[in-house]
Structure 1
Amino acid sequence: MQKLSVLYVVFIAWLIQSCANQVTPTGGEKDVTPPQPLSFSPKNKSTFFSVDEIEIQFDEYFQTTDIFNQVVISPPLDNQPEIKVKGKKLIIKLNNTLRDSTTYTINFGESIKDITENNVLENFTYVFSTGSYIDSLSISGNVVDILTGVNAEKAYAVLYPAGDDSLFLISKPYYFAKTNESGSFVINNIKEGNYNIYAIEDQNFNFYYDLPNERIAFSDSIIKIDTNASTITLQLFSEDKIRQKLLSAKSYRYGQSKIAFGKNTRDVQITFKGEQNIKSFFEKNITGDTLTFWHRDIYLTEHTFQIQYDTIDTIINVAVKSFPKDSVFTKNKNTFRANAEPTQRGNSTDKLITGWDMKKNIQLTFLNPLDSIFTDQFLITEDSLAQIITPEIKIDSLNKKILTINYNWQSGKKYFIHINRSATIDIFGLSNDSVSYYIQTKKIEDYGTINFDITNSKPFPLLLQFMKKDNTLLQEKIIYANTNTSITYNFLLPDKYIFRAIADRNNNGKWDTGNLSEKKQPEQIYYYPGEVTTKANWEMQLKWDLK
């Protein structure tokens, strides 16, 4: 009896332990599959279609969103059909009188998705014909970003009957397809005829080109769709829709005012309407849409600018109140930073920069614009022998906050740079603190070389751009019409590079975008096939014939 009691206690303890070790189920893998159609009534691609109601059975419960914008029927119907969900079934009541011998396509866009994970059923269509056959013509192609050459995913290629260019702006497309991850599209079940084709990057998913940040592409010519399969490449570009305007003009501290515009100030003329003998200059920000006005007139309580843009009539006089010098100007040093990430050299306050690019100038960016520099207060020596060198030291002509030290740095050398206190004076009379840098340059074997032969057989100049993979422009060169040119790119660090050539048809030295209303295409950009990978201590030969 006692033995049975012991066994009973052991069993209860095991049962409690088992319950305590229970874990929550993981729930399985995430559902990534959208609803799939199982059956159609009438069947998909039916001919002699004569009913008013369509039923589509799906394999799971689903939801519909934004039916009004997402569902497009071509050719368009006079009345909006009624679309509703009943269980796993989609019911479409057409409520229209259909044309004889006509193929209709119902494209559901992104309106159908599952309930749990919102997985979208893309490029789903229901096709029927009131005649004896289904229109079976198609057009395929791809959409790319003209500035990068990258395939444009999730853009829409859209077709409209030729003859009325306004249809694109006032109505939904007759036919459309969405591009896949490779930028490709196929539009099926098209009626034979002439069409205008466009591509849009539809930001608000309404099939209209109606937002300033939406990009557009269009074909110069009418597309004839017949028994021959058609293919086309469409290049997305952004129109210059934003009109220039003055956003704000304000002083932020003594000697500094900022004037902000709606877009790049390339075509803005701005004049300071004050004492011309005071130290002053304009600084442009990196995006080019904001100008900073620097000055050191301690008696200036208000300064006026004349601003002109767009046309000769757009002239604005702006008065900006100044801060007095003693109100906010409390700094007693003009600080700066170098164009590198130095590390501390042991316990020393000296800064160490290793792996310095031999062809790179040293840039020091100051808090305030510089007025003068004293080159004898810069001590620069080479290697352990402490041989004094004399690089070119100057204030940047476009941005007086930048000081450059230009020198033909040698392979694998060590340099010591010491900048004394008060080696520079800014426009407010402030000087710098002393600082020292140790620099170790790369070796010549660390670099690669590209010898590039290009033939421009075109009747207009090309702007040949040499860029890093991230589209950072490294060098640009004009290749004149009908010429052969050889270029050597040396001292290249191992990396991936891109070559592209801009068709500078108007010979203005820059790329120009397009304009839909004027039927003006953007200037063509040609890309050298693939990326170019450089290796250390390696020289490569490339050829490119642009016919």
Structure 2
Amino acid sequence: MKLNDVTYMRLILAAVAAFILAACASMGRPTGGEYDVDPPVYVQSNPAIGSVNFKKNHITIDFNENVQVEDVMNKVVVSPPQKNIPSITANGKRVTAELRDSMLDNTTYTIDFSDAIKDLNEGNTLDGFAIDFSTGDSIDSLRIAGMVFEARTLEPAQNMLVGVYSNLSDTAITTLPLERIGRTNQLGQFIIRGLKPGDYRIYALNDINRDYHWDRSEDVAFYDVTVSPYAEPTTVSDTLITLDGRDSIVTHPGTNYFPNDILLTWFNEGYKAQYLKDYTRPDRRRLLLNLAAPSDTFPTITLLNGPAAGKRIDELAILNTGMTRDTLEYFITDTALMAQDTMMLALHFLRTDTLQQLSWGNDTIRVLYREPKANKTKEKKVKKKKDDEENSDSIVGPQLTFLNISAKTSNTQEIYLPIIFEVNQPLDTIIPEGLHLEMIRDTIFDTLAVPELVRVDPFNTMRYKVEYKWEPGVKYRFSADSASIVGIYNEWNKPFKHEFTARALEDYSLLAFN
């Protein structure tokens, strides 16, 4: 039986509808297009790059995609340097900069973003982007470029401030803010823009306190000759690609800026300002003074109160100080001064003045000793125990406090170095017969010459050394008999022993020179 035309059309429509429904129900993952590897592209700004007679402090910059500005405080710099930190934000495709200082007349302003601008999604960096404009009728356009390295390691210096002075005085860097600045990127590269013709001195700073000049504690680099920037015309070649993929090379006029190869190496002289940081009395026997920097000249300290008023502290105590000479530890030997809770002291010492020079100054300090609660509780317990013992028939001797001695070198001894020991108070007496040095021969310790305890440092009364020509790979033992070492407070040591093995020659390298 033949189908009529109406029925035939209905069957065709049903088949088409079924096919469409099947296609709509199939699942798939959208591709999202090709991965973006291009940095943001500058579109326009207000003011336009290179504008003149622009005196507003509100600047906007538009890009072809959504952007972000990363680490504004460390990467973005404004020339001339701003006393008040500018506000720089990103919103969508626009970056906004608000300069909070008063705008200077006839001045070229540069906002150098270095590598701070990235697209929002993939984080592609727009490196070396900057915008400049002038508040006068002309704009300064010369540049100086180069790199900064660390002198010790030759590693590139990142986020370091680089700037110039037209004032060629050697002291300008310590008193005046830099006139034009740039900042190094992750490769240590920098560009200083917006320069006038003339002679300049170039410096790089790790400007910690953001005052745009060098403080002696900061890292610094300098170029040892003056620099005169200049520009030369050139021809620049670019490749243009059409929509259908065909490319062609075009040329247009351009400018080369010199010098562009300045190399700076930063260093730090390790300067510290000298002053009295703090002072404490941790116990009745000790007075501690902490200086901000090492000193070869110790302060003159005079006691102003108590039975010993008018005497110098070095008449009443023994000074101990470490190798750094910045911590002065006085061990009080006068019993009346030990019992004194409050000490008024007059200090005459070297300190840094406003010109960053050491000069003699005077100060008066009041040092208090407060008995710790734990000590008071312990004293009550000792007193109660003593009372209980007096009421009993048993006889108990006094509590003894011993001198502490410890080895500061390990059990593996370098064969070319002495062994080091440390005590907890200055020493009064060392009995040589109580000191022993031995070495193992066939599992038996053989006695060597009597060792001599010698101070490691003339000002360090707590650290001593024993020097000997150690045999490689041999085991040694240093020992001190009980009461062979006595401190200034009439405390002596318990029996002490330190065993160690000298390193084998195989642990060292051999270097021969001809």
- Do the structures match in fold with TM over 0.5? yes
Could you tell me which of 274, 277, 294 is aligned with 1:264?
Answer: 294
Name the structure 2 match of 1:299: 336
- 1:72/1:172 contact within 8 Å kept: no
Closer, same or farther: CA 115–378 of 1 in aligned 2, 3 Å: farther
Corresponding residue for 1:289? 326
Match of 1:125 in 2: 130
SS at match of 2:465: strand
Of 417, 424, 428 in structure 2, the residue corresponding to residue 371 of structure 1 is: 428
C-alpha displacement at 1:415, in angstroms? 1.5
Query: Is 1:256–1:292's contact at 8 Å kept on the other side of the alignment?
Result: yes
SS at match of 2:452: strand
Structure 2: how far apart are the matches of 1:316 and 1:142? 43
Summarize the alignment of residues 504-543 of structure 1 with structure 2, pairs less than 5 Å apart. 536=509, 538-541=510-513
Name the SS of the counterpart of 1:158 in structure 2: strand
2:20 maps to what in 1?
none
- 1:337 is matched by which residue type in structure 2? S
Deviation at 1:338, TM superposition (A): 0.9
Aligned-residue offset at 1:232: 3.5
How far apart are residue 238 of structure 1 and its match?
Answer: 5.1
Cα distance in 2 for residues equivalent to 1:322 and 1:133:
67
After TM superposition, give the deviation of residue 218 of structure 1 in Å: 3.6
Tell me the CA shift for residue 210 of structure 1.
7.4
Distance across 2 between alignment mates of 1:120 and 1:168: 35
TM-score, with structure 1 as normaliser: 0.58
Change (3 A) 1:98 1:122: farther
Q: CA deviation at 1:235?
A: 3.0
* Change over 3 Å in CA distance of 1:189–1:408 after alignment to 2: same
Offset, 1:214: 3.4
* Structure-2 residue corresponding to 1:314: 361
Tell me the secondary structure at the aligned position of residue 409 of structure 2: coil
- Aligned-partner SS, 2:482: coil
Matched, 1:209 2:213: yes
Contact 2:272 2:292 in 1 (8 A): no
Shift of 1:433: 1.8
Match of 2:266 in 1: 235
How many residues are paired up? Answer: 400
Distance 1:428 1:80 in 2: 59
Cα distance, 1:295 vs. partner? 2.6
2:139, 2:194 within 8 Å by CA — same for their partners in 1?
no
- The reply to whether residue 426 of structure 1 matches residue 429 of structure 2 is no
Q: Pick from 38, 63, 66 the counterpart of residue 41 of structure 2.
A: 38
1:382 equivalent to 2:451? Answer no
Structural RMSD (CA) = 4.9
* Larger radius of gyration between Structure 1 and Structure 2: 2
Whole-Å Cα distance in 2 between the matches of residues 57 and 112 of structure 1? 10
Once the two structures are superposed, what CA deviation does each residue of 1:25-73 show, in whole Å capped at 9, x if it has no partner? xxxxxxxx99942232269996787989763215334358768994414
Q: Partners of 1:294 and 1:117 in 2: how far apart? A: 64
SS at match of 2:433: helix
Are the counterparts in 1 of residues 285 and 331 from structure 2 also a CA contact under 8 Å? yes
Q: Say if 2:418 and 2:465, in contact at 8 Å, map to a contact too.
A: yes
Residue 335 of structure 1 deviates from its aligned partner by 1.7
2:237 match = none
Give the whole-Å Cα distance in 1 for the aligned partners of 2:316 and 2:296.
23
Partners of 2:317 and 2:86 in 1: how far apart? 67
Contact 1:393 1:403 survives alignment (8 Å)? no
Conserved? CA contact 1:137–1:192, under 8 Å:
no
Cα pair 2:40 2:118 within 8 Å, conserved: no
CA contact (8 A) 1:72 1:173 kept: no
Q: Which runs of 5+ in 1 are unaligned?
A: 1-32, 342-352, 448-535, 543-547
**Could you tell me how far 1:250 is from its partner in structure 2?**
3.3
Q: CA–CA distance in 2 between the matches of 1:186 and 1:446?
A: 50
Is the Cα–Cα contact under 8 Å of residues 40 and 67 in structure 2 kept in the other structure? no
The amino acid that maps onto 2:212 is Y
| CA 1:45–1:285: 2 relative to 1, 3 Å | farther
Distance 2:314 2:108 in 1: 77
**In 1, Cα distance between equivalents of 2:85 and 2:334:** 68
The farther-off stretch of 53-62 and 130-139 is 130-139
How far apart are the structure 2 equivalents of 1:86 and 1:119? 17
Q: Deviations over 1:96-121 (max 9, x none)?
A: 8996xx98643136865777999986
Task: Pick the structure with more helix per residue.
Answer: 2
The alignment-based identity, stated in percent, is 18
SS in 1 for 2:330: strand
Residue identity opposite 2:268 in structure 1: F
326-335 vs 410-419, which moves further: 326-335
* Structure 1 residues 114 and 98, CA gap change in structure 2 (3 angstroms): farther
Q: Aligned equivalents of 1:312 and 1:161: distance in 2? A: 32
**Cα distance in 1 between the residues matched to 2:414 and 2:173:** 56
Q: Report how far residue 382 of structure 1 moved.
A: 1.9
1:463 is aligned to none
Is it true that 1:435 corresponds to 2:439 in the alignment? Answer: no
Contact kept in structure 1, 2:346 and 2:365, CA below 8 Å: yes
